[in-house]
């Protein structure tokens, strides 16, 4: 608080004279001529001056009362006010439940603040309650002594309570700080006295001035404004100071003798100023920033208070216009903060649910790459949802984000530990698979067909037992191993497939079969069509090997004609895939060398089916979780598409697995 404000708040000296100053100001504005005789006390102005004031040329006009400003709603702004001791105690009811020790601790903590005006009410309340407790203790002691000693003389314990000593020490700090403040205030009063004396000299010069009326009026208003802004002065000088001020003021008005002109000019300026404030207040209705408009409105209200009266016939109209703009701005602000609070409450609930879901993910124990990947995807989905949710209140928003981020950090820290260990294991697996590649490559040129075949099959079985290797090396090492195996089995197949003439004959047979398939006419009976296509497929697989250079082209042509036959039948993609797969398996199962391939295919199919089932379960669970979100419709639609695609793929895989099992 500024020193001048402290002077105005705490000094009770000269209040009567200051009130007279305010009334005289209204007289200068031409508002209260009829009250002047009652306001000027006989002991303040000399008789001659009182006569001059009473007979001055004040213009007749109705008294204009100060306007009652509409209340500006101050959300989050506290207003200080002076209260009596009883009101202070009422405002702090919790003190009645505290012990002496607690009150002492509270007093010791309170007096650490040197701002006397800030802690005064609390100190008074503590002091009242502490003295009440002391009195209650003394009453109880006297009553007890009376009961114990009967008619004997009552002897009270006069030893000093250590708690009282602590309390008095703390209270002494408060009194010391208060004394320092009072000393500071007195010094300020002396400075204010010198400032007001200087203004009196300026006013005296103005009385003798020959300047134009407008300049005199402006200079007088400046002196008057400065005078009112200066705080209290020492009580001993207050009376003489005010007598001189009023004397010179009246002498100035005697000299100019143009009170009506001054009043009319002042009211005209006031009217223009208040009209401008009305326009500014109305412009705030289009301001997009509520904070900016509210602060500006507060400023306009302060300016309105400082502006003097306006002509009586314009007063009510002007006032209603300003009040109407104020009420509209207050209404807009109330509605905005009400909506904001509702949104923040809903956002808080949504983000709390996301935090709880993240905590659940962190708490789960995961032991596979797929499990970690699935949970990572779920956490990523949670983060996407988080970004779409608006903020809660500032404090709650920060707390929620800290909690959510901590869960993510914990999850990825655990994930790193798991994958670091996995990486080490994968490196070991890679080294083992490289060794198998070396062994397979040593057999690829062997002509001991049976022995080498058995050895390669053992290597293939061992390969399956080895766990995964680093992803960037997996494909390369697998191609190396497969190339060695394929090289051997290709040589073996060529060895047992016969001479080249047989391959050429097989190629010709397949070409003739393709031409026959092209000429096939689709029947009305769908089952008959499918059976015919199956017959074509069986005949195709029964035909032996073709020359290597023609293998890809003839197989591609065959696949296209099969696809075209199914397209003509307008069979759906799943049936095509299943039917083709069934024929492919039927062509392989009678070949001894293909049994191992079928078994591997069955294991891979089982793994893919289980993965799809887990994915569907996770997606369906997430739909239930996102049901309470504001963006639930978009999220649910996206998840339902994913679930539909996954279920469709699952049906195809399950049909193929049944084919393999059969």
- Could you tell me if residue 70 is inside a domain? no
What's the DSSP call for residue 284? G
Considering its fold, how many domains does the chain have in total? Answer: 3
Rounded Cα distance between 74 and 80, Å, is 13
| 555 lies in some domain | no
* Residue 245: CB atoms within 10 Å: 20
Alpha helices in 60-161 (DSSP H): 85-91, 100-110, 116-149
On whether residue 182 sits in a domain, the answer given is yes
Residues 329, 361 within the same domain: no
> How far is 618 from 360, CA to CA, in rounded Å?
14
Report yes or no: 652 and 625 within 8 Å, Cβ to Cβ.
Answer: no
Return d(Cα 308, Cα 225) in angstroms, integer: 13
Residue 437 is assigned to a structural domain of this protein:
no
Tell me how many degrees the CA angle 250-253-258 measures, rounded to the nearest 5.
Answer: 160
Domain end (from 224, 257, 290):
257
What is the distance between the alpha carbons of residues 146 and 44, in angstroms, rounded to a whole number?
61
- Round to whole Å and give the CA distance between 398 and 344: 13
Contacts of 388 (CB under 8 A, 6+ apart): 629, 630, 631
* DSSP E strand boundaries for 408-556: none
Cα 514 to Cα 540: distance, rounded to the nearest angstrom = 9
| Same domain, residue pair 162 and 253 | yes
Plot region of 257 (φ>0 → left; ψ -120 to 50 → alpha; else → beta): left
Same domain flag for 177 and 232? yes
Of 293, 319, 342, the one marking the end of a domain is: 342
Residues 285 and 236 in one domain: no
Residues 311 and 360 in one domain: no
* Token output for 318: 């002007």
3-state helix, strand, coil in the chain (%, to 5): 80, 0, 20
389, 630 in Cβ contact below 8 A?
yes
Q: How many helices (H) and strands (E) does the chain have?
A: 23, 0
Cα 73 from Cα 336, distance rounded (Å): 13
Angle at 20 between CA 14 and CA 24, to 5 degrees: 145
pLDDT for the residue 580 = 67
Note whether residue 52 is domain-resident: yes
| CA distance to 495, 499, 549, 560, per residue, from 504 (Å) | 16, 9, 11, 22
Distances (CA, A) of 251 to 206, 230, 448, 599, 662: 10, 22, 137, 121, 124
Q: Whole-angstrom Cα distance, residue 440 to residue 478?
A: 12
Statement to judge: residues 9 and 103 lie in one domain: yes
What pLDDT is recorded for position 15? 37
- Is the C-alpha dihedral spanning 112, 116, 119, 122 positive or negative? positive
Instruction: Indicate whether 306 and 180 sit together in one domain.
Output: no
Distance CA 373, CA 379 (A): 10
| Alpha-carbon dihedral 175, 178, 182, 188, rounded to 10 degrees | 160
Q: Do 379 and 328 share a structural domain? A: no
Task: Looking at the structure, tell me whether residues 121 and 30 fall in a common domain.
Answer: yes
Contacts 24+ apart (CB under 8 A), 579-585: 579/530, 579/533, 579/534, 580/537, 581/656, 581/659, 582/659, 583/534, 583/537, 583/538, 583/541, 585/659, 585/660
> Which residues span the domain enclosing 15?
3-62+81-257
Please give the average pLDDT of every successive group of 10 residues along the chain, which has 662 residues.
36 38 39 33 34 34 41 38 48 71 88 85 88 86 75 54 87 88 85 88 84 80 88 84 86 67 78 88 83 86 86 87 88 82 82 84 78 83 83 81 85 82 82 87 85 88 85 84 86 68 82 87 80 85 81 86 77 60 67 70 86 84 64 70 82 81 76
Q: What is each CA distance from 433 to 187, 421, 467, in whole angstroms?
A: 94, 19, 10
Predicted confidence at residue 248, as pLDDT, reads: 86
Give pairs for 70-76: CB < 8 Å, separation 24+.
70/323, 70/326, 70/327, 72/294, 72/297, 72/298, 72/301, 72/326, 72/330, 73/330, 73/333, 73/334, 75/333, 75/337
Q: For residue 376, is it within any domain?
A: yes
Work out the end-to-end distance of the chain between its first and last CA atoms, rounded to an integer number of angstroms. Answer: 93
Q: What is the pLDDT of residue 576?
A: 58
Domain for residue 54, yes or no? yes
Domain membership of residue 213 (yes or no) is: yes
Domain boundary among 257, 283, 300: 257
Q: Are residues 338 and 361 in the same domain?
A: no
Do residues 191 and 239 both lie within one domain? yes
Q: Which residue has the tokens 């004040």?
A: 58
Euclidean distance between CA atoms 372 and 370, whole angstroms? 5
Question: Are residues 276 and 373 located together in one domain of the fold?
Answer: no
């Amino acid at each position: 608080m500024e020193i001048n404000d402290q002077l105005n708040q705490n000094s009770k000296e000269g209040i009567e004279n200051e009130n007279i100053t305010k009334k005289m100001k209204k007289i200068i504005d031409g508002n209260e001529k009829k009250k002047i005789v009652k306001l000027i006390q006989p002991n303040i102005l000399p008789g001659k001056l009182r006569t001059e004031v009473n007979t001055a040329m004040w213009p007749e006009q109705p008294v204009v009362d100060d306007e009652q400003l509409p209340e500006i709603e101050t959300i989050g702004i506290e207003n200080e006010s002076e209260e009596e001791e009883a009101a202070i105690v009422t405002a702090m009811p919790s003190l009645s439940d505290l012990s002496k020790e607690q009150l002492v601790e509270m007093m010791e903590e309170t007096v650490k603040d040197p701002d006397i005006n800030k802690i005064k009410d609390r100190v008074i309340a503590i002091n009242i309650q502490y003295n009440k407790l002391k009195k209650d203790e003394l009453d109880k002691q006297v009553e007890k002594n009376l009961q114990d000693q009967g008619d004997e003389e009552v002897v009270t314990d006069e030893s000093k309570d250590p708690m009282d000593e602590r309390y008095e020490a703390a209270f002494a700090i408060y009194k010391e700080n208060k004394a320092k403040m009072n000393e500071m205030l007195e010094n300020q009063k002396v400075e204010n006295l010198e400032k007001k004396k200087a203004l009196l000299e300026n006013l005296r010069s103005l009385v003798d001035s020959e300047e134009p009326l407008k300049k005199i009026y402006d200079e007088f208003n400046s002196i008057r404004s400065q005078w009112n802004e200066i705080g209290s002065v020492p009580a001993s000088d207050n009376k003489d100071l005010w007598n001189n001020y009023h004397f010179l003021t009246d002498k100035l008005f005697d000299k100019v003798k143009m009170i009506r002109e001054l009043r009319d000019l002042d009211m005209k300026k006031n009217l223009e100023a208040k009209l401008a404030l009305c326009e500014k207040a109305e412009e705030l209705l289009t301001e997009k920033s509520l904070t900016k408009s509210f602060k500006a409105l507060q400023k306009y209200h302060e300016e309105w208070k400082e502006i003097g009266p306006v002509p009586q016939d314009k007063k009510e109209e002007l006032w209603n216009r300003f009040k109407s703009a104020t009420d509209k701005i207050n209404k807009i602000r109330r509605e905005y903060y009400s909506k904001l609070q509702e949104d923040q409450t809903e956002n808080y609930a949504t983000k709390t649910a996301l935090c709880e879901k993240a905590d659940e993910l962190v708490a789960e124990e995961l032991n596979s790459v797929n499990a970690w990947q699935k949970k990572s995807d779920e956490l990523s989905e949670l983060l996407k949802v988080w970004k779409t949710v608006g903020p809660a209140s500032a404090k709650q928003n920060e707390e929620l984000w800290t909690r959510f981020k901590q869960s993510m950090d914990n999850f990825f820290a655990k994930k790193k530990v798991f994958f670091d260990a996995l990486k080490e294991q994968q490196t070991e697996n890679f080294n083992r698979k490289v060794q198998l590649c070396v062994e397979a490559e040593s057999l690829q040129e062997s002509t001991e067909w049976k022995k080498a075949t058995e050895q390669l099959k053992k290597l293939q079985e061992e390969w399956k037992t080895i766990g995964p290797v680093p992803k960037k090396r997996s494909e390369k090492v697998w191609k190396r191993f497969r190339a060695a195996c394929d090289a051997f089995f290709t040589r073996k197949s060529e060895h047992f497939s016969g001479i080249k003439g047989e391959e050429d004959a097989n190629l010709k047979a397949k070409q003739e079969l393709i031409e026959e398939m092209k000429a096939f006419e689709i029947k009305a009976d769908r089952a008959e069509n499918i059976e015919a296509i199956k017959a074509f497929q069986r005949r195709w697989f029964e035909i032996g090997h073709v020359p290597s250079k023609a293998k890809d082209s003839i197989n591609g042509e065959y696949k296209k004609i099969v696809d075209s036959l199914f397209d003509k039948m307008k069979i759906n993609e799943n049936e095509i895939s299943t039917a083709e797969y069934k024929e492919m398996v039927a062509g392989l199962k009678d070949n001894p060398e293909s049994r191992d391939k079928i078994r591997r295919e069955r294991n891979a199919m089982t793994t893919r089916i289980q993965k799809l089932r887990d994915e569907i379960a996770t997606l369906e669970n997430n739909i239930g979780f996102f049901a309470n979100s504001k963006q639930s419709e978009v999220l649910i639609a996206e998840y339902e598409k994913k679930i539909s695609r996954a279920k469709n793929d699952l049906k195809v895989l399950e049909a193929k697995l049944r084919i393999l099992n059969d």
